[in-house]
Chain A
Amino acid sequence: MVKKVRSHISQNEQLLFEMSSPGKKGYQLPDLDVPVVDPAAALGGQAVRKEIEGFPEVSEVEVIRHFTRLSTWNYAIDLGMYPLGSCTMKYNPRVNEQVARTEGLAWAHPYQPESLAQGMMEVIAALEGALAEITGMDAVTLQPAAGAHGEMTGILLIRAALEKQGNPRKKVLCPDSAHGTNPATAQMVGYDVVNIKSNDLGMVDVAELVKAVDGDTAALMVTNPNTVGVFEEHIVQVAEVLHSKGAMIYMDGANMNALVGVARPGDFGVDVMHLNLHKTFSTPHGGGGPGAGAVAMKAHLEPFAPTPRLKFENGLYGWDYNRPDTIGRVRAFYGNFGVLVRALAYIMAHGGPGLRNATMDAILNANYIRKGLEAFFDLPYQSPCMHEVVFSDDRQTKKGVKTGDIAKRLIDYGFHPYTVSFPLIVHGALMIEPTETESKAEIDLFIDAMQSIAREIDEDPQMVLKAPYTTRTSRVDETTAARKPIVRWKPSPAAS
């Protein structure tokens, strides 16, 4: 039985362009207090456009209704559990939104005088310091805009350091469980990607690694805990294998929610890593961003950090542009500052002890789900799990039902699906990450729902294949979308 949800009315809504009518507007501008300039005279008639063809014309009420109606078609953390593995969909405290809108911070221009930017720089310094402590690293740059951008920054740092020693080397190793951004990043920094097979515990196979690491190896990109939710128990040894050959270890810190306050990458041999502040540190995902991809590094990589670097001299903060060994900039200005404010607010609210508690609760919740579901779904790796648990659809595929179908059925039970079909090393993966912010009551409902679906698959697999039944939009035809891409609205010929 579905306990968590029942359906209710949702409004239909056209696209803005379809509801538009000439002359409607939703803005007011102040009176112009200077003489109006004729665009044709100032810019040349040729340079001035006639109109923005097809652009919407709607009223303020219509705008509010339009976007509010659209919003009701979304699922969100604020509605319920969102157990997307690897994505750390935890509650996003609202105070973070408020402090990010603090006037002096939100309206600060990146080029305003440093004497009027001390407050912003203090925020940056405080966050750099806290993240260095959390990761056990020596230095942090907050410039990268997201996780993948942080990966690029980190691999650029490794490349710069190796180059300085005389040889940037040729390849980067990625376990076959790695997230797609890892190999894509290595390629963008000019490295060949070599995939390393995981062992049957889901961990990096040390023997395989020893064979793969040679004088051409620049780095291993490892996720810890890895994407099957397992702590790499040989991580210290893994780091030694790399270091003994002059290579480095990059850690994808997307799963840092399992480690904060419990273990520090800097203590187990990692040279450089990124953090997804939009995962571990609760800044909202906003339907796909913005994020922030802080990069924490050991001292030997700091000289290469992106420019400018924050410095503190004679009691004042400032930006240091004089960094001869820098990899350069990875983006304009100093980073997604508004996101950094939110992350610092989260750290301040938790404090050191609270951060560790959050980690332990995240691990507790994942283990509780594992226990509740292991009789119903195949668990490919028996290793202890950290903050997420990965099942396979092996049992359900015998009935013709795949992980993607189970995910769609879960929607009818009022939950956002888990991560589907990732990591690739698990056949038909169901990757479940509850995070610490779910209550036992919500998690029990989730376990209940998953067990119920497992029974439905035994009894009536056909029914599950057509899910979801309760959404305003039934299964979406993704194949046709890709075959004949329509990626923008156009007026229908009849209408024009």
Chain B
Amino acid sequence: MLGAIGVSHIDELIAHIPAEARLNRPLDIPAGKSEFDIVDYFRERGDRGANGYPTFLGAGVYRHFRPVVADVIVQRSEFLTSYTPYQAEIAQGTLTQIFEFQTMVCQLTGMEVANASMYDGSTAVPEAAMMAVRITGRNKTLVARTVHPEYREVLDTYTKHQGMPVAELGYDAETGRLDMADLAAKIDSDTACVIIQSPNFFGTVEELDALAELVHSKGALLVYVFTEAVSLGLLQPPLQADIVVGELQSFCISPAYGGPFAGIIATKEKFIRQIPGRLVGETKDTEGRRAFCLTLSTREQHIRREKATSNICTNQALIALMGTVYLSLFGKEGLRELAVQNLSKAHYLGSHFEPRFSGAYFNEFVARVGDPEALNAKLLDEKIIGGLPLGKYYPELADSMLLCATEMTKKPEMDKLLAVAGRSK
């Protein structure tokens, strides 16, 4: 090859890099390791984790069973090792599946259009706010304090330099739902959107009707956020919302210490040109057969550059595929049955605690336990991971923790937690 190129040594190919920019020593990284060593390295690190520990953590990342089939499909080379489907003729597999994904997201959320995915639930939130600002021509965002605290931090980071002031809305200390009076006091003619989460960070299900009416009466948009996608199997789709964003981790995505997950963004048809990221559309090939391709790319950075709806390029396609496979396995019946199991498990656990809030909850709830850190330490002695202490995010709830149960939480584990917490009946 060198002969064909016309050089005698491979290093001549980089001779044009100026000397002061070149690295003149080997990288300080140990020589290559064998496959055995690599597998062993990660196994050893995994073994020092929480294998075998029952856990009651939720708070945006949920333990759900992962059907074997989904992992088999995502490891098909043709899905795993292909790029973004720009060349439609040889990417119909991915394109068709994304079209199915977009459809399922619409069916679950009651929205009319959905994109191919966002990085995760947290980054989808500011993207929704930016969309609302473009649609309404207003600049203010109101976000409920019961939206996941880390999602709100991400919202702050994104909006800070875009002339988009963000203010927070309190929660009702009795029900754990949005404080409607606070909303009524703060919403005004500059409000582009109101962002709420349901089930919210406390696990409490929000009541949308009155809320949506107030938001819309002021000409603002309602953004509905979810972190526990399984709830959509049971709860009414948020038809009152204008934009729905959320996290799909519950659909077969392993917790993986926080990622990769996949976010969704869905909205009404009339806002389609303001949606960020990739969209797949139906069309035909020259023979008139149904085909799919990426579409409306004039919204996107590679065409519009600084005028694009977002800078997002790579998204979370393979994760969205995993979710699509999962949803097709569970289907209409299964998702509901799964949701009922989650509801039942959490309510078994919850019935033993003094609930902090009276609002209805799905698969997690706030329990007043006195000293959450002390309880967690006791549980850890028993090789159980307890709930999330809330004081760090809500100082007024320092005596409480967020507990979660899913279909994977076994009754004996819950009974053990209850015994340690002194809550056995």
Contact = CB atoms under 8 A, between A and B. Distances in A.
Interface string A147-169: 11101100010010000000010
A71 B5 contact: no
Contact of B50 (A39, A101, A104): A104
A395 interface: no
B48 A104 contact: yes
A487 B100 contact: no
Given A148-B312, A183-B305, A111 B344 contact: no
A104 to B, nearest CB: 3
B214 interface: no
**7 closest cross-chain pairs (CB), A and B:** A333-B258, A286-B318, A104-B46, A119-B45, A190-B161, A104-B49, A288-B317
A412 to B, nearest CB: 10
A363 B13 contact: yes
B375 interface: no
B165 to A, nearest CB: 13
A263 B161 CA distance: 34
B148 A184 contact: no
Nearest to A156: B157
B349 to A, nearest CB: 8
A29 B333 contact: no
Contact of B315 (A180, A235, A288): A288
A461 interface: no
B34 to A, nearest CB: 8
B185 interface: no
A139 interface: no
Nearest to A90: B81
A17 B106 CA distance: 13
Contacts of A329: 122, 150, 153-154, 157
Nearest to B40: A99
B374 interface: no
Given A335-B258, A475-B286, A349 B82 contact: no
Interface stretch (A208-216, A241-249, A340-348): A340-348
A193 B305 contact: yes
Contacts, number: 662
A109 B407 CA distance: 16
Nearest to B46: A104
A17 B282 CA distance: 15
B225 to A, nearest CB: 12
A299 interface: no
Interface string B281-300: 11111110101111111101
B253 to A, nearest CB: 9
B107 A286 contact: no
A123 B45 contact: yes
Nearest to B105: A488
A361 to B, nearest CB: 8
Interface in A18-44: 20, 23-27, 29-30, 32-37, 39, 42-44
Given A46-B236, A111-B57, A233-B16, A287 B256 contact: no
A338 B316 CA distance: 12
Given A95-B39, A104-B45, A109-B57, A233 B233 contact: no
Nearest to A337: B257
Contacts of A92: 80-81
B329 A27 contact: yes
A55 B38 contact: no
Of listed B2, B14, B305, residue having the most chain A CB within 10 A = B305
Contacts of A351: 29-33
